[in-house]
Amino acid sequence: MTRPDPLLGDQLLLPDRGPRLAPWLIGVLMFVTVLVGAAGLTLANAARLVAAGAEQRWSVQLPGGARTAAPLAKRLGQAPGVAAVSALPEARVRDLVGQWLGPELAQSPDLPLPGLIDVTLAPGASPAPLRHALAQAAPTARLQSFSDQLGPLLANLRLLQAIALALVLMMAAASAAAVMLATRSAYEAHRGTIEVLHGIGATDRQLAALFQRRMTREALIGGVIGTIAGLLLIFLTLTTSGAFLAIAADGPALRPIDLVVLAILPFAGALLARLVARATINRALRATL
């Protein structure tokens, strides 16, 4: 029978002295990381779906009035690449104007109302035929892409995504700091044992492995608990709000690949803890032994 390496029993050689706070701290940080990451992924999905939905949609504004919109809509519907076209009724235009000017002024018969036409192009279709048809039928009309109109909204969504990513990186940095402090504290608590092991021939690599395994295990335990708690809260939030299957842009708030990314976070955190623990203990060993 082969004799087991005594250095593999890190729990026996490095017994706990006091409460183990590292798993709980890492669990809380991972819980927050999962929530922030889910928010960032949801914003990314929303921006992607809004951009995709607006890519083929265009609006036509007619200075001639809402009554001229219906005849022009019929002509534009015959242009190549146009999948759907609809003229907004005058009542609907007044409702839209009323949001800015007030309902009383919007219902005034003396108020000049623009004609509005909503045009949807077929997937992959070029807007050039639409521009050509509009230039022939109504040279004074204005053609505008929904993507241009939604530009500020998409910019704000991308800004929020960047903020979410920055917060995730901050949580990772905080987790690394927690692992570093916990490793340093464990080293100081077991310095006598480390010196004895080093004196009987243990190498720095073997000593570092003790702390690596310990911190990796604690980070993984805390990370899994925090991730499960975060995913449960996300699931309850999405189901109770009716957003589990769809959001405003007719797409999932979180795709299956997003859930996989969130589920990988505790393992990524454990790997980070292993690397940080190794660097911390090697630096401490070089300074004291």
What residue spans define the domains of the chain? 6-51+152-288, 64-140
Confidence of residue 167 (pLDDT cuts 50, 70, 90): very high
For the cut 80, the answer to whether the pLDDT of residue 96 exceeds it is no
Model confidence, pTM: 0.72
Which residues are 120's β-sheet partners? 57, 84
C-beta separation of 202 from 7 below 8 A: yes
Q: Rounded to whole angstroms, what are the CA distances from 65 to 62, 68, 93, 107?
A: 6, 6, 10, 14
Q: Rounded to whole angstroms, what are the CA distances from 236 to 48, 88, 94, 173, 201?
A: 24, 39, 41, 28, 54
CA–CA gap between residue 91 and residue 89 (Å, rounded):
5
What pLDDT does 15 receive?
55
Report the first-to-last Cα separation within the chain, whole angstroms.
34
What pLDDT does 264 receive?
93
Strand order in the sheet with 142-145: 82-87, 115-121, 57-62, 142-145
pLDDT in tens, 7-45: 445 555 555 554 567 888 999 999 999 999 998 998 888
What pLDDT does 244 receive?
46
Half-sphere exposure of 203 (CA within 13 A, CB side): 4
pLDDT in tens, 55-80: 778 888 877 666 777 778 888 888 88
What pLDDT does 112 receive?
67
195-205: average pLDDT:
71
Helix, strand, or coil (residue 242) = coil
What pLDDT does 247 receive?
47
Confidence of residue 207 (pLDDT cuts 50, 70, 90): confident
286/7: higher pLDDT: 286
For the cut 70, the answer to whether the pLDDT of residue 274 exceeds it is yes
Q: Is 82 left (phi over 0), alpha (psi -120 to 50) or beta?
A: beta
Compute the radius of gyration of the chain from its Cα atoms: 31
109-122: average pLDDT:
75
